[in-house]
Structure 1
Amino acid sequence: MIMASAVLHRGAQFSAFFGTVAQVLLIAVALAASPRRLGVTAAGAEMRTSSPGPNWHVVSVASLLPAAVCTPSTAGSNSTVLNVVHRHGPCSPLQSRGGAPPHIQVLDHDQTRVDSIHRKIGTASTVLDQADRAAKGVSLPARRGISLGTGNYVVSVGLGTPARDMTVVFDTGSDLSWVQCAPCSDCYEQKDPLFDPAQSKTYSAVPCAAPECQGLDSHSCSRDKKCRYEVVYGDQSQTDGDLARDTLTLGTPSNTLQGFVFGCGDKDTGLFGKTDGLVGLGREKVSLSSQAAAKFGAGFSYCLPSSPSGVGYLSLGRSAPGNAQFTTMATRRDTPSFYYVNLVAVKVGGRTVRISPVVFSSAGTVIDSGTVITRLPPRAYAALRTAFTRSMGRYRYKKAPALSILDTCYDFTGHTTVRIPSLALVFAGGTTVELDFSGVLYVAKASQACLAFAPNGDGTDVGILGNTQQKTLAVVYDVANQKIGFGANGCS
């Protein structure tokens, strides 16, 4: 009544002005009382909608892009914990070697890795089909590796005595760990000096007759009876050298693995991104997790930070956060290195997307630390995209061009905050994993934020749970009990 009186006294000229003020005040009060009851129009102005409820992410556009400075780790002080950082972020020891590659290059390399995983699994299945089904002990040659072009998370470990710090990719899709060694006949450029076996008091070459050598299937013998290994990855990167043993230091100087078996590469080419090598966390005996099982327990866990400017962790052993939900670890005899999970459904905004479980089960799903974008069967992806775009449609965000393999993109230019429907993955046994906001969208820039999922080329190709969807989750590989767990808020 006070405002109405003021308007009447000041005449019709000011009526529209004060009416507008009243509307703004009413909207501000509504926003303060219930911030989730307002959407954002394409022009950036707020509009009324029905309440999104708890199944929506409301975030500021400014927070979509990574910070230029490193955010300290909030991981625990356990001595087996190694810091995990994005190799192109401000926390990375490799940062001084140049900026991050263009997003389209990252995604194109990601597709190369996915293609190589599909080839590896397809080839293994064909070989097994042609073999005697009753035969046991079928194994894959170590040389059938997968592409490392997007191995974008690294850890630092100590190798040798005295220990030399090495920055290496960690990869759940590989088994053999390796570093580049001096002298090297043909090595790619890396950040640190090459590891020199002559400077380590505990180094020794593995003889050709040793079980570790015989188990590689791709070994050869040098003239002095040393074991020579070879791994050729799907993007034609490769490493060749001597199989060796030395002391591996994890976290603290007192936390070591004696006689750790690894590759000492002296002929290495490819897309290894200035790293010093790789640590494999696959399921075969030669992997780091398998070799460390006797000391730490059969398993490991990690958490990937929400942003390249954050810090996560990698921990050996079977420790798990109290909020972890577990699902059965599936196995396939034709590809024993990979960790399989039974994905059965997807939820958007709290509602289960209508997809037949057969669509997921026909090829299965692997969880991979090196793949960036999750791949779904074509029918599952189409249903997910439809549900996601329908939910996004209520806010009328402007569409943006596709980005490489990502075909559902939005332009948030001019918006202060955005509202995005939640996404959840449902696994066998009812385990439901809510994705962090950073696992829903792949943000190249404010004007190009894309749904961070992509379809496989064929319904028979294995699905892949990529590292974008794993962000901020404590991912627990309980190998002893054949379970994989997911805990929310594992790291920031």
Structure 2
Amino acid sequence: MAQVGMVSSSYSLGEKVRLFHMQEIDHSYNMSIHARLEREKKRVETLTQLFANDPMMSANIERGEMFGSPEFIVRVGVGSPPHYQYLVFDTGSDLVWFQCQPCDRCYSQINPIFDPVKSNTYREASCLSTKCQLLNQHSCKNQHCVYKMGYGDRSSSEGVLGFETFIFGNTTFSNVAFGCGYKNKGTFLNFAGILGFGGGDLSFVGQLGEKGRTFSYCLVDPKSTSFGWLHVGEEAITPGAVWSPLVYNPRANSAHYYVDFLGLSVGDIRVPISEQVFQLSNTGKGGVVLDTGTLVTRFPKPAYNAFRNAFIAQTQHIPRVHGVSLFDTCYNITYIQYTMLPKISFHFAGGPILVLMAKNILVEVEDSNILCFAFAPSPNDLSIIGSIAQQKIQITIDGQAGRIGFGPQNCASKQIGVPSLSIERMHQVSWSVVVQPKPSGGLGIRPASDMNLAFMIKLGWGLITKPNELWVTLLHSNYGIGDAGFPMQVLWGTQGCLASAGGVLQDHAALWVGGFARYLDWCLLCPVR
């Protein structure tokens, strides 16, 4: 087992660990989209109010204040010998904390509560330690550093700051500063605490030195049969990713990562929104943050209205229904056999254009026949790119270089350690999908015009004769709308992917075998020219 000293920056980390959706860990958890949105409501309110008020962003609020919906979970070994805990992965929090014995007040959790007395490597931090001084709210008790976290939904954690050994897969990290919580209450469900991956020095990645401020991740949705993952360290930088600068907010006491977002396109039409709408002001207001703790992507109301109206204008052929919960634009596909969806593209400074998959655009609500536009207006000038828009997209944060990377491929996999491919640049041409009901009531996806017989024969022959050369992965499952069966993403170069295998095609085809409907998820992955 590799061991990493926290004071050293001479190491290299290269291991991916599973990033679970909460329903994989707690099968009793089956929260509707309405309940999930209600859980994140306080986080969004706190986040937007925090950045809208005092330009100094209120020094009395600890980083990580905006706890929302605990969607994504990491299993971490803690102590010597290791005791495994399920922690919420949060890019909007800095402090790592979890419940500890002896508990004055603790909520129920899946694994036994960590007892520092049973660990050979635990030690408490003094009030004079550097890590203690990084806390915005701390006090001293018997010369030990006491932290207190309060969240917008009145959840809280209080305890002492300590140092402990953490284990990710086969890699050991020593002397990680974390909060050992003895008084905890709130809506953390059955998970032990928070694994803060924010941009501050006290977050998990912030403690790893210069080379440790880099990580990449892949999020999956609740119905996915594919794996999400988290990759920490400089080896998380994948060749072929396309990069855009992160934006530093010197006036914000925020763990969040700001991105240099320029605008949106629906189909091939750029939505007429000034780039200034998405820019961070000199007073630290506005801007666009990336947040795994928020589900729905939000834009300032004028920008959202223009974006939504552009989408509606290109989906007039799909029956509209009344809004549901937070969503004001919903569609009824009960009686639809074939329909076309426009692509949605996010434009970033530096050139990257991120083309969203269908599952990043529409979300299932109420039943499998009602789909809603997975975006909403923000209460103020702050924009938030939430987890629905991030799902199945490989995202890399290079904190040391101050940049964010996308790609080079659709990232969710049946296995940890998927080979990566080199893509020089994300180009985009026209994109459309056909949505058709499958026998079980879910959805299958196939391309509207390009999946012709000649291409099917060519692809099939390639699968048989040159599977490694074509980099084809077959995943077999009875997919529903929420899984890889719903999204389709086409990133292709100017030479054309389908004719020359010069791009990336991800598609789903319904195959009838022995009277049963089975779906194969195949990915033809090849460099974009």
**TM superposition score normalised by structure 2:** 0.71
Whole-angstrom distance in 1 between the partners of 2:107 and 2:338: 44
Change (3 A) 1:161 1:342: same
1:267-346 → structure 2 map (5 Å cutoff): 267-293=183-209, 296-309=211-224, 310-318=226-234, 319-335=236-252, 336-346=254-264
Cα distance in 1 for partners of 2:343, 2:320 equals: 19
Quote the Cα distance in structure 1 between the aligned partners of 2:270 and 2:138: 49
In the aligned structure 2, how far is the partner of 1:106 from the partner of 1:307? 12
1:430-460 CA-to-partner distances (Å, cap 9, x unmatched) read 22101122111111232321111101123xx
TM-align CA RMSD: 1.8
Q: CA deviation at 1:418?
A: 4.3
SS of aligned partner of 1:193: coil
Residues 142 and 311 of structure 1: CA distance in aligned 2, closer, same or farther (over 3 Å): farther
SS of the counterpart of 1:101?
Answer: coil
Query: Out of 322, 334, 337, which is 1:401 matched to?
Result: 322
In 1: Cα distance, 2:240 partner to 2:356 partner: 14
Q: Residue 119 of structure 1 aligns to which amino acid in structure 2?
A: Q
CA distance in 2, matches of 1:407, 1:229: 41
Provide the C-alpha distance between the structure 1 equivalents of 2:348 and 2:166, rounded to a whole number of angstroms: 36
Shift of 1:390: 1.1
**8 Å contact 2:297–2:376 — kept in the other structure?**
yes
In the alignment, structure 1 residue 475 sits paired with structure 2 residue 392: no
User: Are 1:392 and 1:420, in contact at CA under 8 Å, matched by a contact in 2?
Assistant: yes
Cα separation, 2, equivalents of 1:257 and 1:241: 22
Matches within 5 A, 1:204-243: 204-222=123-141, 224-243=142-161
Deviation at 1:240, TM superposition (A): 0.3
Higher Rg: 1
Give a deviation string over 1:186-222, Cα, whole Å, max 9, x none.
1111111100111111011111121211221311111
Q: Which has the higher strand share?
A: 2
Distance 1:212 1:162, change over 3 A: same
Residue aligned with 2:320, SS: strand
Change beyond 3 A, Cα 1:265–1:169: same
CA deviation after TM superposition for structure 1 residue 370, in Å: 0.8
Shift of 1:94: 2.1
Map 1:47-196 onto structure 2 (within 5 A): 80-88=15-23, 92-95=24-27, 98-126=28-56, 140-141=59-60, 143=62, 145-196=64-115
Bigger CA drift: 347-356 or 300-309?
Answer: 300-309
**Structure-2 change in CA distance of 1:320 and 1:436 (3 Å):** farther
8 Å Cα contact 1:400-1:410 kept in structure 2 = yes
Mapped partners of 1:317, 1:79: distance in 2: 7
Q: Does 1:389 align with 2:389?
A: no
1:443-482 to 2 correspondence within 5 Å? Answer: 443-444=364-365, 445-458=367-380, 461-482=381-402
Determine helix, strand or coil for the equivalent of 1:323: coil
Q: Percent identity?
A: 33
How far the C-alpha of 1:151 sits from its partner, in A, is: 2.3
Contact 1:157 1:248 in 2 (8 A): yes
What's the secondary structure of 1:112's corresponding residue?
Answer: helix
1:421 aligns with 2:339: no
Partner AA of 1:262 in structure 2: F
Question: What letter matches 1:80 in structure 2?
Answer: E
Alpha-carbon distance in 1 for matches of 2:61, 2:96: 11
Q: CA deviation at 1:291?
A: 1.1
Letter in 1 for 2:149: V
Q: List gaps (5 residues or longer) in structure 1.
A: 1-77, 129-139
- The structure with higher relative contact order (CA 8 Å, sep 6+) is 1
Residues 145-197 of structure 1 show CA distances to partners (whole Å, capped at 9, x for unaligned) of 33323121111110000111111101010000011011101111111110011
State the match for 2:455 in structure 1.
Answer: none
1:438 corresponds to which residue? 359
Who is 1:35 aligned against? none
For the pair 1:266 / 2:182, whether they are aligned, the reply is yes
- In structure 2, the partner of 1:5 is none
Distance across 2 between alignment mates of 1:159 and 1:142: 27
User: Alpha-carbon deviation of 1:99?
Assistant: 3.0
Contact 2:85 2:111 in 1 (8 A): yes
Matched letter for residue 19 of structure 2: V
Distance 1:149 1:342 in 2: 24
Name the CA distance, whole Å, in 2 between partners of 1:174 and 1:202: 25
Please say which of residues 165-174 and 422-431 is displaced more in the overlay.
422-431
Which ranges in structure 2 are unaligned for 5 or more consecutive residues? 1-12, 414-529
Contact 2:64 2:95 in 1 (8 A): no
